Amino acid sequence: MSEDDRPIPRKVSQADDLAPEGVYPPTEEMLSEPVPADLQKAQADRLRKAWVAPTGIRYVTAVNNSEVGVWYSMTAFAFMLIAGVMALIIRLQLAFPENDLISADRFNQLFTMHGSAMMFLFAVPIFEAIAILILPGFLSARDLPFPRLSAYGYWCFLIGGISVIGSVFVDAGPTAGWFMYPPLATQDEGIGSDIWLLGLSFIEVASIAAAVELIVGTLKCRPPGMRVNIMPLYAWYVLVVGGMILFAFPPLIAGDFLFELERSFDWPFFDPTRGGDPLLWQHLFWIFGHPEVYIVFLPSIAIAAMVVPTVAQRPIVGYSWIVLSAVGTGFLSFGLWVHHMFTTGLPSISLGFFSAASEAVVIPTGIQLFAFLATLMVGRVRVNLPMLWIAGGLAIFTAGGLTGVMLAMAPFDFQAHDSYFVVAHLHYTLFGGMVFPVIAGVYYFFPFARKKLLSERLGRIAFWLIFVGFNVTFLPMHWVGLLGMPRRIYTFPGGLGWDTVNLMSTIASFLIAAGFAVFAWDVIRPKTRQPQIPRNPWGGGTLEWTHDVPEELWGTRSIPYVTSRYPLWDDPKLLERLDSGRYYLPDAETVRRETMVTSVIDAKPLLIQKVTGPSWLPLLAAVFTGGAFIFPTFHVYPPAIASGAVALAIIILWLWRETSWPPEHEMRDAGLGLRLPNYAAGPNSVGWWAMWITMLGDATAFASVVFAFFYYWTSSADFPPVAMPDPDRALVGLAVVGLLLAWAATVSAAWLNARARVTAARAALIVAPVAAAGGAAALVLSVIGLSPSTHVYPAVMCALAIWVVVHAGVGIVMQLYCLAASVAGKMTPRHDADIQNVTLYWHFHLIAVLVTCAVMGLAPGVMR
């Protein structure tokens, strides 16, 4: 390569010389200039062609948020209905003392799956589903930045969900409760617990994928001018909840990883007879489990935050207070998990601290509720059907919140814990804080997604059935709980004062079911003869109501320049300009799907982002990823490994074909006199942000495994055990050297490539995987002599080694990918997004390597 001979290497990556050109922000004069009618029509035709949805069997290859969002929502609701039917069977069994409608084993499967499905297959996915469906509308983005990732996440959710919930129908469901406490769950025979662990890990991975998508979408795909302080509250909540998912799910994934190692290979992480500790699981589970409650609750509050201003016809009061409270709730929620463990014999000082921390959550929650009340106070209230559901939700949620205040008092919790009082409390918070607002959201956003209204009459019938049924079912449970009825019992003796209450709950539970049946019918009933809605049927002020009626799949005809929180209320000319294509990206010159990427804080236009279109690859990748998770359930590993390899190959193919190719034109006209680049690398690109955010979650999972090591150290006097062999220190040292070298070679490759020293960069990309493989091999050899099934100490060492080796493997694949990209001309000195992302991965991996090797090589000596 001749470039190599150049005397002074100079960075030539495109960020330096390709920046947006032209006028920004647009002047009023530019905005008021009309667009010629024939141009409008030509642009609209091209856009329509670019965004056309596949038809027939190829419909399943759709990746557009408007399709995937609807599938996702409907699937989550279907799982909710199935889990609801399970609850009805549970109630029937508990209608009478010593009833024998179903066996204890069947009952345990049902209550385990009811909780697991409601949480993992409904409450969290429905947030992601609704957000995927409506967030781009709020932001006037044409789509989210990674539509195929959404589709992949959806198919993973569908496959994983069916395999988990289906287990109950073949009488092989998990029976140890949705919390899966060991040793009960580790000793459990049969495949139930494996289905839970692997199936839900699979879905958790999909959840994290969706979180990454939504966070990047919120940060980078806002319309020009929508600074963070004027973005819709919904977007703020998506950001907060996405961040929480990123830090809450990884501890559970780490826990699942250890748990499945124990179940499959008998590594005793939670077995007290071999140095393990069942309480570690409880910590990991509730570090996930408590934020989970707010992960479920905040998105529903977000819906209320969009409905309330529309109902009041006034901007929300206390915007900043709400944002601060949402962020505050997010942070606080990570400091409360111990209140699920008040009865595990912790010292009083912990009880006091976590009591106080739990009570503190009242304040941000209270601020959010009062901000809604304040908004209603200053407005002219028009109660509509969505508002009725919000009102019902408020009545129920405040009751649940107040019993939460009671439960957070440790002395009272000693009585109420694991009794029906808690069953009542959690259903009050989840129905009031989640189910009712979500249904309000369905009524409110149904016309957005389907351009038809749901029935006012059916909506009111469903509301009163569910509202009355709910209260009659669950209010008495507080009472029966304090009469001493524990949770999770498949039957109970008569004569303890529990009989009448349980019968009443059972009868009323069928009112709830009837209400949901009415609601479900309203959603699915044919509406062909019903007229389409007028645009913006509720009179909302935010951008989602600019979408066209009848529906156009392009999302927004042109991407507006936004200067206020409620553009539809504040800018009377917005709609007309938007429709005529006066704003940004009014055209699809290349007839490809595109949206605009803006800067994180100020939403200044940065580039035109190509958006991927329909493809079989996400579906196929999900099928094979499913295989990699589902085969191990039955302890058959070769097909699992093969399946995983195929999934990886498909994902590589998908990335290779569609991402980060040098564009045909470096700069293109974006409308309103602005020219934008068509390619970005590093922090300007969405891919770099996605990598950053993913690795943050990955690092959290890794930190949880390291936490396990230190937890054993603090909870056991004899850890690390004196007589146990340690990992071979020399080999651990060698692993550090190898992996450090791999990191250095990767960083050098990026540096050299950006300075047009392509040959040297390729050489570095050959050295890097070799060094990484050598380092990983050394790490494997360092623990090869340990017997992880004898004690938790060698087990945790081996688990750490596995973690690093697997990540090194992924890192090697990435390095080779960059090498291939360089050779194929996909990656050039100017267009180096791939290597920049890979470098970021290796930065994170280096930290994991150093921590792991310190723990394996140094800690045993220091700690003994």
Site for another protein, residues 73 to 132, rule: CB under 8 A: 97-98, 100, 103-105, 108
Task: Kindly write out the interface string for residues 640-659 of this chain, putting x where it contacts another protein by CB under 8 A and - elsewhere.
Answer: --------------------
Q: Which of 355, 455, 536, 753 binds another protein (CB under 8 A)?
A: 355
Tell whether residue 488 is a contact of another protein (CB under 8 A).
Answer: yes
Tell whether residue 503 is a contact of another protein (CB under 8 A).
Answer: no
Cβ distance to another protein smaller for residue 78 or 184: 184
User: How far is 550 from 83, CA to CA, in rounded Å?
Assistant: 35
Provide the minimum distance between the beta carbon of 357 and another protein in the complex, in angstroms, as a whole number.
10
Contact range with another protein by CB under 8 A, out of 169-177, 430-438, 563-571, 626-634: 169-177
Tell whether residue 524 is a contact of another protein (CB under 8 A).
Answer: no
Q: Which of 42, 74, 405, 863 binds another protein (CB under 8 A)?
A: 405
Residues numbered 36-65 forming contacts with another protein, rule: CB under 8 A: none
Say how many residues make up the chain.
864
Residues numbered 616-635 forming contacts with another protein, rule: CB under 8 A: none
Provide the minimum distance between the beta carbon of 346 and another protein in the complex, in angstroms, as a whole number.
10
Tell me the two tokens of residue 241.
């909840």
Q: Which of 2, 380, 638, 717 binds another protein (CB under 8 A)?
A: 380
Using the structure block, give the residue that is written with the tokens 């190509």. Answer: 610
Tell whether residue 191 is a contact of another protein (CB under 8 A).
Answer: no
Provide the minimum distance between the beta carbon of 134 and another protein in the complex, in angstroms, as a whole number.
25
Tell whether residue 168 is a contact of another protein (CB under 8 A).
Answer: no
Using the structure block, give the residue that is written with the tokens 């009014």. Answer: 586
The dihedral over CA atoms of 398, 403, 406, 407, expressed in degrees to the nearest 10, equals -120
Q: Tell me the CA distances in angstroms from 56 to 311, 528, 798, one per residue in order.
A: 40, 20, 50
Provide the minimum distance between the beta carbon of 697 and another protein in the complex, in angstroms, as a whole number.
30
Half-sphere exposure of 523 (CA within 13 A, CB side): 20
- What are the residue ranges of helices labelled H in 348-455? 348-360, 362-378, 385-408, 410-416, 420-430, 436-450
Tell whether residue 717 is a contact of another protein (CB under 8 A).
Answer: no
Tell me the two tokens of residue 262.
């124990």
- Do 153 and 213 form a contact (C-beta atoms < 8 A)? yes
Strand order in the sheet with 21-22: 21-22, 674-677, 667-671
DSSP 39-105: HHHHHHHHHHHHTPPP-GGGGGG---HHHHHHHHHHHHHHHHHHHHHHHHHHHHHTSSTT--SS-HH
User: How far is 542 from 586, CA to CA, in rounded Å?
Assistant: 20
Tell whether residue 637 is a contact of another protein (CB under 8 A).
Answer: no
Indicate the helix (H) or strand (E) that contains 134. Answer: helix 124-138
- Do 555 and 593 form a contact (C-beta atoms < 8 A)? no
Provide the minimum distance between the beta carbon of 859 and another protein in the complex, in angstroms, as a whole number.
23
Tell whether residue 504 is a contact of another protein (CB under 8 A).
Answer: no
Q: Which of 256, 262, 413, 587 binds another protein (CB under 8 A)?
A: 413
Q: Which of 273, 528, 638, 723 binds another protein (CB under 8 A)?
A: 273
Using the structure block, give the residue that is written with the tokens 């688990």. Answer: 799
Cβ distance to another protein smaller for residue 791 or 831: 791
Beta-strand relationship, 21-22 and 667-671: unpaired
What does DSSP assign to residue 361? Answer: T
- Do 306 and 300 form a contact (C-beta atoms < 8 A)? no
Residue 836 CA, chain-centre distance (Å), reads 25
Provide the minimum distance between the beta carbon of 487 and another protein in the complex, in angstroms, as a whole number.
7
Using the structure block, give the residue that is written with the tokens 């005809």. Answer: 557
Tell whether residue 495 is a contact of another protein (CB under 8 A).
Answer: yes
Provide the minimum distance between the beta carbon of 692 and another protein in the complex, in angstroms, as a whole number.
34
Tell whether residue 363 is a contact of another protein (CB under 8 A).
Answer: yes
Tell whether residue 394 is a contact of another protein (CB under 8 A).
Answer: yes
Tell whether residue 714 is a contact of another protein (CB under 8 A).
Answer: no
Contacts of residue 5, defined as CB under 8 A and 6 or more positions apart, other chains included, come to: none
Closest CA to 584 of 478, 672, 458, 711: 672
Tell whether residue 278 is a contact of another protein (CB under 8 A).
Answer: yes
Tell whether residue 233 is a contact of another protein (CB under 8 A).
Answer: no
Q: Tell me the CA distances in angstroms from 21 to 28, 95, 833, one per residue in order.
A: 19, 71, 21
Rg (CA), the chain: 28
Tell me the two tokens of residue 468.
């009355």
Tell whether residue 377 is a contact of another protein (CB under 8 A).
Answer: yes
Contact range with another protein by CB under 8 A, out of 70-78, 487-495, 760-768, 838-846: 487-495
Cβ distance to another protein smaller for residue 32 or 103: 103
Contact range with another protein by CB under 8 A, out of 408-416, 574-582, 753-761, 842-850: 408-416
Residues numbered 576-595 forming contacts with another protein, rule: CB under 8 A: none
Tell whether residue 662 is a contact of another protein (CB under 8 A).
Answer: no
Q: Give counts: helices (H), strands (E), the chain.
A: 29, 5
Contact range with another protein by CB under 8 A, out of 347-355, 720-728, 729-737, 849-857: 347-355
Number of amino acids touching another protein (CB under 8 A): 89
Q: Which of 1, 36, 171, 352 binds another protein (CB under 8 A)?
A: 352
Omega into 493 within 30° of 0, i.e. cis? no
Cβ distance to another protein smaller for residue 63 or 385: 385
Provide the minimum distance between the beta carbon of 119 and another protein in the complex, in angstroms, as a whole number.
16
Task: Kindly write out the interface string for residues 298-337 of this chain, putting x where it contacts another protein by CB under 8 A and - elsewhere.
Answer: -------------------xx--x---x------------
Q: Tell me the CA distances in angstroms from 495 to 481, 485, 650, one per residue in order.
A: 15, 12, 62
Residue 235 CA, chain-centre distance (Å), reads 14
Residue 220 phi, psi (nearest 5): -115, -10
Q: Which of 409, 533, 740, 763 binds another protein (CB under 8 A)?
A: 409
Tell whether residue 360 is a contact of another protein (CB under 8 A).
Answer: yes
Cβ distance to another protein smaller for residue 361 or 553: 361
- What are the residue ranges of helices labelled H in 483-591? 499-524, 567-570, 574-579
Q: Which of 23, 74, 402, 649 binds another protein (CB under 8 A)?
A: 402
Residues numbered 417-456 forming contacts with another protein, rule: CB under 8 A: 417-419
Tell whether residue 262 is a contact of another protein (CB under 8 A).
Answer: no
User: How far is 190 from 518, CA to CA, in rounded Å?
Assistant: 39
Closest CA to 613 of 633, 588, 630, 637: 588
Tell whether residue 228 is a contact of another protein (CB under 8 A).
Answer: no
Residues numbered 735-754 forming contacts with another protein, rule: CB under 8 A: none
User: How far is 416 from 469, CA to CA, in rounded Å?
Assistant: 24
Q: Which of 344, 530, 759, 787 binds another protein (CB under 8 A)?
A: 344
Contact range with another protein by CB under 8 A, out of 339-347, 502-510, 728-736, 818-826: 339-347
User: How far is 86 from 95, CA to CA, in rounded Å?
Assistant: 14
Tell whether residue 238 is a contact of another protein (CB under 8 A).
Answer: no
Provide the minimum distance between the beta carbon of 184 and another protein in the complex, in angstroms, as a whole number.
4
Tell me the two tokens of residue 487.
């949770």
Tell me the two tokens of residue 621.
């990748």
Cβ distance to another protein smaller for residue 355 or 694: 355
Tell whether residue 373 is a contact of another protein (CB under 8 A).
Answer: yes
Provide the minimum distance between the beta carbon of 306 and another protein in the complex, in angstroms, as a whole number.
17
Tell whether residue 475 is a contact of another protein (CB under 8 A).
Answer: no
Provide the minimum distance between the beta carbon of 104 and another protein in the complex, in angstroms, as a whole number.
4
Between CA 519 and CA 527, with CA 525 as vertex, the angle to 5 degrees is 125
Contacts of residue 520, defined as CB under 8 A and 6 or more positions apart, other chains included, come to: 77, 81
Provide the minimum distance between the beta carbon of 483 and another protein in the complex, in angstroms, as a whole number.
5
